[in-house]
Amino acid sequence: MSQKKTIVLGVTASIAIYKACDIIRRLKSESYDVIVVMTKESEELVRPIVFQSLSNNKVYRGLFDDSSEWEIEHISLADKADLVLIAPATANIIGKIASGISDDLLTCIVSATKAKVLVAPAMNENMYLNKITRSNIKKLTGFGYKFIEPKKGNLACGKAGVGCLAEVETIVKEVKKLI
């Protein structure tokens, strides 16, 4: 019997964060172990207890959170990951990773992991089509990061456009392809 694969799911402060709940459910139904890492800003939208309940795992948040045991969390999580999935991914997190900025737990994990990284952007169309964001995505793609393109739909600003998080089924299918 093969060992259960571990997915570190990074969630950022996109309005699409609620879809991370469905992503966790679907990945768990496929027998993946899901460990959630939240950015500080994402906690303004969803409380960590929601992800803890869905994943049946501790939710990791800050670089310097109190730990019941001594471990360098960003290194241990980076090593544990068979895949790092960032969904939803904001322009901010994409820009930080593309610039090599490691100033929070999620960016440190991405910097330290040898696992594949899969990014599912979700943001306003203007942000997604911004030349800097497009350049950051191109740069990361060149480094071997995989992206799941957002879809066109109704955005949080009330307009329709490209920037909606890809369908959960599409994300799960990409995860399965990569691991």
Domains and CATH numbers, the chain: 6-178 (3.40.50.1950)
pLDDT of residue 1: 39
Q: Across the strands, what pairs with 33?
A: 6
3-state secondary structure of 30: coil
Catalytic residue among 21, 108, 157, 164: 157
Predicted confidence (pLDDT) per residue in 65-118, tens digit: 655 554 566 788 999 999 999 999 999 999 999 999 999 999 999 999 999 999
Helical (H) or strand (E) element with 83:
strand 83-89
Question: pLDDT by residue (tens digit) across 147-164?
Answer: 999 999 877 777 888 989
The question of whether 108 is a catalytic residue gets the answer no
SS3 category, 54: helix
- At residue 71, the pLDDT reads 58
Mean of per-residue pLDDT scores for the chain:
92
- Residue 70: predicted pLDDT: 47
What's the CA angle centered on 111, arms 138 and 25, to 5 degrees? 85
If you average pLDDT over residues 115-143, what whole number do you get?
97
pTM recorded for the entire structure: 0.93
Q: Work out the average pLDDT over 11-21.
A: 95
Decide if 108 contacts 141 (C-beta within 8 A): no
Q: Say how far apart CA 149 and CA 93 lie, in whole Å.
A: 16
Q: What percent of the chain has pLDDT over 90?
A: 83
Among the listed residues 89, 104, 66, the one whose alpha carbon sits nearest the alpha carbon of residue 13: 89
